[in-house]
């Protein structure tokens, strides 16, 4: 079931799990549900998996717009606190964050749109899988300090374990020159939707 977040333009899913004597089955991505929310398909270009020990904090990461990068995230072992932050300059919700528990037990998935930074804290040892709409490119990949006091993110780990890169990332205000604007993100979104409409028309 697709559910919208309360404050940011994104969604998470709570799939129907089908258990039997062998184990269980569930759908963790469904194109029709994604398209009904966004108005365009998810252009899968890369699939990633990260393994983290309890206490690890990864992020906050975002991609320049263009080209942009959407993510669709799930936790297949353990539990994480997954966070997205609106970094679209000019947005009514700029700097606002929302977090959600993703775990092997609840099997939720979280969608990260273009123009949003993403990070997570491993509540327990955890394995995270996520789909992305573009391949990783270090030339357009940026980070924000996940502990930036201006964001006030309530991470559920008291002494987070960070990479050197994440530990030295700038705060939100310092990163402003790299941040996408809400207009750039809207233009990219409209391009996705226009291409999807055209593709459907050509298919008829």
12, 72, 111, 130: the active-site residue: 130
Average pLDDT of span 165-170: 97
The helix or strand, by DSSP H or E, that contains position 179, with its residue range, turns out to be: none
130 is catalytic: yes
Work out the mean pLDDT of the chain and round it to a whole number. 96
Tens digits of residue pLDDT in 73-115: 999 999 999 999 999 999 999 999 999 999 999 999 999 999 9
φ, ψ dihedrals at 164, nearest 5°: -60, -40
Domains along the chain? 2-203 (2.60.120.10)
The helix or strand, by DSSP H or E, that contains position 12, with its residue range, turns out to be: strand 11-13
Of 199, 192, 202, 8, nearest to 100 by C-alpha is 8
pTM: 0.94
The helix or strand, by DSSP H or E, that contains position 190, with its residue range, turns out to be: helix 182-203
Tens digits of residue pLDDT in 47-67: 999 999 999 999 999 999 999
CA–CA distance from 101 to each of 55, 81, 164, 185 (Å)?
A: 14, 5, 25, 26
72 is catalytic: no
61, 111, 142, 192: the active-site residue: 61
Distance (Å, rounded) from C-alpha 170 to C-alpha 142?
Answer: 10
Distance (Å, rounded) from C-alpha 29 to C-alpha 71?
Answer: 12
């Amino acid at each position: 079931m697709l559910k919208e977040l309360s404050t940011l333009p994104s969604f998470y899913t709570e799939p129907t799990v089908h258990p039997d004597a062998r184990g269980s089955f569930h759908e963790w991505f469904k194109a029709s549900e994604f398209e009904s929310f966004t108005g365009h398909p998810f252009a899968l270009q890369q699939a990633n998996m990260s393994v983290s020990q309890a206490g690890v904090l990864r992020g906050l990461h975002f991609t320049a717009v263009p080209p942009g990068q959407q993510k669709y995230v799930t936790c297949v072992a353990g539990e994480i606190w997954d966070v997205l932050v609106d970094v679209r300059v000019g947005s009514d919700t700029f700097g606002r964050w929302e977090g959600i528990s993703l775990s092997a037990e609840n099997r939720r998935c979280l969608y990260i749109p273009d123009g949003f930074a993403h990070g997570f804290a491993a509540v327990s040892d955890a394995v995270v899988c996520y789909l992305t709409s573009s391949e990783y490119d270090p030339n357009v990949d940026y980070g924000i300090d996940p502990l930036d006091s201006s964001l006030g993110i309530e991470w559920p780990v008291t002494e987070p374990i960070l990479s050197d890169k994440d530990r030295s990332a700038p705060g939100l205000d310092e990163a402003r020159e790299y941040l996408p604007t809400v207009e750039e993100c809207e233009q990219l979104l409209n391009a996705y939707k226009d291409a999807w409409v055209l593709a459907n028309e050509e298919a008829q």
